[in-house]
Amino acid sequence: MKLANSLTLLVMVTLISACGNKITVETEYSKATNFNDFKYYSWHQKPFEVEANDTSKKEATEKPPKEIDPLLDQNIRFMIDEQLAKAGMVKKENGQVDFLVHYTIGATNEVNVEQQKVYDTYATNYRSYGGGYGYAGRYYSGVGVGMTVQSSTREEMMVERYKEGVMSLDFHEPDSKELIWSATGEKRLAYESLEPAERDKLIEKMIGKLLAKFPPK
């Protein structure tokens, strides 16, 4: 009976996890901006500084969240550049551009507590019966079992620990630095940390989902 209850809880956890397994994307943009003319961009967000001793320069430099190491930051930029290039955008290090690119990424630990109904099945009455038959000097006996089965329900508390992964991609006006387009994607992740290859694959997929909303229709 305990095994049946455990299996019921496992199915419930699987269903809850599956419901939150998709990437959800929300976007907002400036209706006064003509995005169809966009072609050239540069990074608004500066990469990590190499000079660790130059504290004044570090404080004045925009950086991604602290939990992102420089190599991961470099790889995320490469993935964004790659997908923007597929969309026909061209990165420029100098000169006039149509928009500036900025991203943020992170994950928070979350706990979901729910009350679930669990069905218990049990026998209220048990009996056995026997009989026999024979031929050619041999006798065989058989035993049968009969029972009455009922079920009851009880409340079971389910605690689910997971991570909520969030990534935002923002485009800014190059002169005023005002935000003109923003897309934010969220995805429920397993509580355990992802392997680097799996993590990078997920980030690349997230970037694709975000840029699928650009230009706004």
Whether residue 112 is predicted with pLDDT greater than 50 in this model: the reply is: yes
What are the CA-CA distances from residue 120 to residues 41, 125, 155 (Å)? 62, 16, 11
Mean pLDDT of 205-211: 96
Which one is the CATH code of 2-115+157-211: 2.60.120, 2.30.30, 3.30.160, 3.30.1450? 3.30.160
What is the location of CATH 3.30.160 in the chain?
2-115+157-211
pLDDT tens-digit map of 187-196: 988 877 788 8
Distance CA 63, CA 73 (A): 9
- Non-local (6+) Cβ contacts of 43 within 8 A are 77, 91, 100, 101, 102
Distance CA 175, CA 172 (A): 9
- Inter-axis angle of helices 196-211 and 70-86, to 10 degrees? 40
Q: Around Cβ 41, how many Cβ atoms within 10 Å?
A: 21
Distance CA 173, CA 177 (A): 5
Of 16-20, 23-27, 103-107, the poorest mean pLDDT is in 16-20
Pick 4 or 102 by higher pLDDT.
102
pLDDT of residue 99: 98
Give the length of the chain: 217
pLDDT tens-digit map of 117-167: 666 655 555 555 555 545 555 544 555 555 565 666 767 666 667 688 899
Q: How confident is the model at residue 108 (pLDDT cuts 50, 70, 90)?
A: confident
Whether residue 44 is predicted with pLDDT greater than 80 in this model: the reply is: yes
